[in-house]
């Protein structure tokens, strides 16, 4: 089996087995596996491989659009993708900061939701994971490349995480 066949087999395995059951498996993990929110700094939550992916995208001359950057970030987990979005703008990554949406200030986040930062990200990723899982359960399709209406979008925190699944132009926000 060549590399392309192995890669396609893994993608099929993930789509058929892991994604539909991922939320159920995550719920069964002990709390020691959950993301800690005791530290306020985003930097404290970013593992080295996230920064490596960001550096590769930052220095890749082929990454010139928001779509390019988001596509590159989809190799991360949803939580890690969210950390990158939450960290924008980041002076250490000027190109990504220019291409990716800026996160609302802590004050704006808190005024809309009562929470902010990594703690709010944890709540939001849990919601988006449940949304993805339930969309699949109800429709029989993946959220990948779906058209989405974010009703009550506020400053766009959920819409920004939905970029993980579908293109920006397929997400519509109504407040």
Task: For the chain, state the CA radius of gyration.
Answer: 17
Q: Is residue 15 part of a domain?
A: no
Contact 140, 20 (CB under 8 A): no
Tell me the average pLDDT of the chain.
83
Q: What is the mean pLDDT of residues 132-142?
A: 95
What pLDDT band is residue 31 in, cutting at 50, 70 and 90?
very low
Q: Residue 21: its pLDDT value, please?
A: 52
User: How buried is 22 (Cβ within 10 angstroms: 0-12 exposed, 13-18 middle, 19+ buried)?
Assistant: middle
Give the per-residue pLDDT at 170.
96
130 part of a folded domain: yes
- Residue 76 has a pLDDT of 96
Asked whether residue 20 is assigned to any structural domain, the reply reads: no
Q: Is the pLDDT reported for residue 75 higher than 70?
A: yes
What average pLDDT does the segment 15-34 reach?
47
The answer to whether residue 121 sits within a structural domain is yes
| Among the ranges given (43-57, 93-107, 135-149), the one the predictor scored with the smallest mean pLDDT | 43-57
Q: Indicate if the pLDDT at residue 132 is higher than 90.
A: yes
Q: Place 121 in a pLDDT band, splitting at 50, 70 and 90.
A: very high
Total domains, the chain: 1
- 13 falls within a domain: no
Distance CA 134, CA 20 (A): 9
What gap in Å lies between CA 54 and CA 64, rounded to an integer? 14
Look at residue 9 and tell me if it is in a domain: no
CA distance 100 to 121: 17
Q: Is residue 10 part of a domain?
A: no
Report yes or no on 22 lying in a domain.
no
pLDDT tens-digit map of 32-62: 333 433 334 556 566 788 999 999 999 999 9
* Enclosing domain of residue 116: 35-174
pLDDT class for 147, splitting at 50, 70, 90? very high
What percent of the chain stands above pLDDT 90? 69
Does pLDDT of 139 surpass 70? Answer: yes
């Amino acid at each position: 089996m060549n590399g392309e066949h192995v890669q396609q087999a893994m993608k099929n395995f993930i789509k058929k087995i892991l994604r539909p059951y991922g939320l159920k498996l995550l719920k069964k993990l002990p709390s020691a596996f959950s993301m800690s929110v005791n530290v306020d700094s985003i930097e404290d939550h970013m593992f080295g491989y996230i920064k490596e992916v960001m550096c590769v995208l930052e220095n890749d001359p082929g990454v010139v659009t928001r779509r390019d950057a988001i596509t590159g970030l989809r190799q991360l987990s949803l939580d890690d993708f969210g950390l990158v979005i939450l960290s924008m703008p980041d002076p250490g990554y000027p190109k990504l900061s220019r291409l990716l949406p800026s996160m609302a200030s802590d004050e704006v986040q808190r005024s809309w939701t009562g929470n902010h930062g990594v703690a709010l990200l944890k709540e939001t990723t849990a919601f988006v994971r449940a949304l993805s899982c339930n969309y699949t359960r109800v429709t029989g399709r993946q959220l990948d490349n779906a058209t989405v209406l974010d009703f009550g979008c506020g400053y766009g925190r959920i819409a920004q995480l939905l970029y993980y699944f579908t293109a920006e132009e397929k997400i519509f926000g109504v407040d």
